[in-house]
Structure 1
């Protein structure tokens, strides 16, 4: 069962006012390598081991395919300036084209994951997506980017989402962090994507600070603690966790919007990964799914669950 608490204490030292950076851009190489390592570690003791090993294989592929990939091009400087002026994400999800770089990224990923052990349905979906025409691929890309994924084609969209994570992480890494502006607490300042989870970090100069992790590009952005990242309310915030756990993963529940997003205490366990540990803590979601709170975060590897 879950264990509620009324408020999440802030461990910042008395009299110390940290000035954490607003954004930490992803390092595409390290991002997926660290995720692979975490997934493989979690798979050793989890009841979800077969699935965690499969996603670890995808994470490994997301890292491997970057070798020799052509560089993606950022929007022109005037478009970046307009985005900043109007408080919009510089990587417009609605304007991403299935260009040569994205097409090659997807193709390489599909080839790389072909050898992974997987259920028959997942294999059939991969075989179809590997031979899809650009006309067939475009609506799938748009479906992932607009979070409009049909229930009868989840597996195909998951593979495309994995490729898009690589593409957007590489784009985000090329941005100037000092030029980014806050879109909203629940929207990535690089691509506008929703969070997978939030992290309380232990970085030097940002100890005890909370960051949201983008489900698409992997960017981290600062959001104050004890505040709903979905609706912005600071009232009626509570925390649910599984009894007997280490206290590093909780569901931050909001009485205003009745949503929740997991919060991972990375300052207690630096190995925590927002994607990997969100999947591995599925039990917490299952305990909450019949209650009063709805899951408000997004993880492409938990679609259909």
Structure 2
């Protein structure tokens, strides 16, 4: 793992937002989201550092997420008028309760466990898969609800990571069915589709929105536009400092806030399109460890870093 040092900088002066009005939200394409993450985790594992075994497992997990998509039953979205009402009131269009009784969410969890069972993974993860496949639907549903609430039993880390992975598939499929143009701002640090926290943000190089910044939801992979220099936790715009990993990828940094002492990762896809907010967040764990030693707290969420 690259050593995290004190490398820091002021905000990147590169043309902060060439487009006056980029789209507010971009809904995900599940077929692309999980396959791209699988490739990126594999590339990160090829560095051969201490995280490589875990990164390789996550590559396989994301490949399994991609592999089950075609066989899943259709998702059922909230009614259109309900979604519109939620947006009018500054709320996410997708609810964050009741998945324990959602047959599609449970079918997704079952399909992911079946796809993983017997594959290459740590022994403790295989044991968790075995336990979950033998558990009651109610027990698996409760784990989905815990993952949705970003709650983790410290004695069941492996089970929670697997539940979160299933939840990502389900919620990404739900978000894919939304009209991106209908999504409205909930908060700088909250997904307009499902209300989840960002895993990281990215400065993108896409046509029509070059050098603008989008947050990526840790749960449903929806992206939403925020200004380039802004603390996602408290909204402060002054004195933000960007920390990098000494000897690591300079296109992955942490935006730290002097007001609330929080940070969120930012990746520069405008320089390297292969970067993935979720995968590169895990791959830059050394940066989290360094910032924790300086008293900074993580604002963003990554279900694959539960237990770290």
TM-score band, normalised by the shorter chain? over 0.9
Structure 2 counterpart of 1:31? 33
Instruction: Identify which of 177, 181, 185 aligns with 1:182.
Output: 185
Contact in 2 for aligned 1:2/1:284 (Cα 8 Å):
no
User: Which deviates the most, 281-290 or 197-206?
Assistant: 281-290
Match of 2:104 among 101, 105, 110: 101
**Could you tell me which residue of structure 2 aligns to residue 157 of structure 1?**
160
1:100 Cα deviation from its structure 2 partner: 2.0
Rounded Cα–Cα distance in structure 2 between residues aligned with 1:95 and 1:183: 21
1:52 to partner: Cα distance? 0.9
Which residue does 2:243 correspond to in 1? 240
CA RMSD of aligned residues (A): 1.4
Contact persistence 2:109–2:166 (CA under 8 A): yes
Equivalent runs, 1:122-161 vs 2, <5 Å: 122-161=125-164
Greater shift, 58-67 or 244-253, is seen at: 244-253
Gaps of 5+ in 2: none
- Kindly state the Cα deviation for residue 79 of structure 1 after the two structures are TM-superposed: 1.3
Q: Does 1:253 align with 2:253?
A: no
- Using the alignment, how far apart are the partners of 1:133 and 1:246 within structure 2? 44
Aligned with residue 214 of structure 1, among 213, 217, 220: 217
Alignment CA distance shift 1:167-1:17 (3 Å): closer
Q: Distance in 2 between matches of 1:68 and 1:118?
A: 23
Q: Tell me, yes or no, if the aligned pair for 2:100 and 2:138 is still in contact at 8 Å.
A: no
Structure 1 residues 120 and 97: CA distance shift in structure 2, 3 A: closer
- Which aligned pairs between 1:4-83 and structure 2 lie closer than 5 A? 4-12=8-16, 17-47=19-49, 48-83=51-86
User: Tell me, what secondary structure is at the counterpart of 1:144?
Assistant: helix
TM-score normalized by the length of structure 2? 0.95
Q: Deviations over 1:10-32 (max 9, x none)?
A: 4248xx54321111110000101
- For residue 97 of structure 1, report the CA deviation from its aligned partner: 4.6
Deviation at 1:9, TM superposition (A): 2.0
CA distance in structure 2 between the aligned counterparts of 1:191 and 1:97, rounded to whole angstroms: 16
Cα contact 1:198–1:264 (8 A) shared by 2: yes
Equivalent residue number for residue 7 of structure 2: 3
The alignment's TM-score, normalised by the length of structure 1, stands at: 0.96
Cα distance in structure 2, aligned partners of 1:88 and 1:70: 27
1:197 has 2:200 as partner: yes
Number of aligned residues: 303
Out of 78, 81, 87, the residue aligned to residue 90 of structure 2 is 87
In 2: Cα distance, 1:69 partner to 1:102 partner: 10
Which segment drifts farther, 220-229 or 120-129? 120-129
Tell me, which stretches of 5 or more residues in structure 1 are unaligned? Answer: none
In structure 1, how many angstroms separate the alpha carbons of the residues matched to 2:108 and 2:102?
10
- The secondary structure found in structure 1 opposite 2:215 is strand
